[in-house]
């Protein structure tokens, strides 16, 4: 299985209303967190609707990193997560202890 396909397969296992971090995904499959980010950013360039819930992967601070990317509309990731029940505070941070997946649930 190709590297990006490993990322996509794991991200597909994150249930609605839960999140993971780039680092957590990377650790689970032995990749640098940046590679996980590159794999998910690649989905934004695909013309078809992706079946990978990319929005469920955020940074280790509990905030959104996609607002720095020009190929993803501002606050799209946050809006998608909020529609799944993820709450953010006034600083745009979410509670990783509450929403982050348990790695064993993705095996």
Q: Kindly report, residue by residue over 63-107, the tens digit of the pLDDT.
A: 998 766 666 777 888 999 999 999 999 999 999 999 999 887 776
User: CA of 101: how far to CAs of 41, 46, 70, 71, in Å?
Assistant: 21, 27, 28, 27
pLDDT at 65: 84
Compute the half-sphere exposure of residue 33: CA atoms within 13 Å on the CB side of its CA: 10
pLDDT at 82: 96
pLDDT at 46: 61
- Contacts by 88-91 with C-beta closer than 8 Å and gap 24+? 91/63
Contact by Cβ (8 Å): 100, 18: yes
Q: Kindly report, residue by residue over 48-70, the tens digit of the pLDDT.
A: 556 899 999 999 999 998 766 66
**What's this model's pTM, rounded to 2 decimal places?**
0.89
Token readout for 101 is 């997946």
């Amino acid at each position: 299985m190709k590297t990006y396909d490993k990322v996509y397969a794991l991200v597909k296992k994150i249930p609605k209303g839960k999140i993971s971090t780039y680092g957590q995904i990377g650790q689970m499959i032995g990749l640098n967190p940046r590679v996980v980010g590159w794999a998910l950013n690649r989905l934004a360039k695909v013309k078809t609707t992706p079946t990978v819930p990319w929005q469920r992967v955020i940074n280790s601070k509990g905030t959104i990193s996609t607002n720095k990317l020009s190929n993803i509309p501002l606050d799209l990731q946050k809006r998608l997560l909020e529609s799944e029940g993820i709450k953010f505070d006034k600083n745009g941070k979410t509670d990783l202890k509450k929403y982050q997946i348990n790695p064993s649930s993705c095996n």
